[in-house]
Amino acid sequence: MSKKNSSANAEQARYWTEDGGPNWVRDEAVYDLMLTPFNHVLLDALDPQPGERVLDVGCGFGSTSLAVSARGAEVHGVDISPPMIQRARERAAAAKASATFAIADAQEDPLGGPHDAVTSRFGVMFFADPVRAFRNFAGATRPEGRLAFVCWQPLESNPWMNAAPNVIRSLMDDPPPPPPPGAGPFAFGDTTFVDRVLAEAGWSQASIAPFETHARMGGNDGVAGAVNQALGNSAAKALLAMGDATVRERAAAILADEFESLSVDGVVSFPAAAWLVTARR
Neighbours of 240 (CB within 10 A): 20
Whether 152 is in a domain gets the answer yes
Residues of the chain with pLDDT under 70: 1-8, 181-183
pLDDT in tens, 238-257: 999 998 889 999 999 999 99
Is residue 175 included in any domain, yes or no? no
The pLDDT value recorded for residue 145 is 98
Report how many domains make up the chain: 1
In a domain, 168, yes or no: no
The secondary structure of the chain, three-state, reads CCHHHHCCCHHHHHHHHHCHHHHHHHCHHHHHHHHHHHHHHHHHHHCCCCCCEEEEECCCCCHHHHHHHCCCCEEEEEECCHHHHHHHHHHHHHHCCCEEEEECCCCCCCCCCCEEEEEEECCCCCCCCHHHHHHHHHHCEEEEEEEEEEEECCHHHCHHHHHHHHHHHHCCCCCCCCCCCCCCCCCCCCHHHHHHHHHHCCCEEEEEEEEEEEEEECCCCHHHHHHHHHHCCHHHHHHHCCCCCCHHHHHHHHHHHHHHHHCECCEEEEEEEEEEEEEEC
> Domain for residue 236, yes or no?
no
Structural domain harbouring 8 = 3-158+181-217+271-280
Domain membership of residue 166 (yes or no) is no
* 174 domain residue, yes or no: no
Contacts of 247 (CB under 8 A, 6+ apart): 168, 171, 172, 240
The answer to whether residue 207 is domain-embedded is: yes
- Answer yes or no: is 240 within a domain: no
- Domain at 123, CATH number: 3.40.50.150
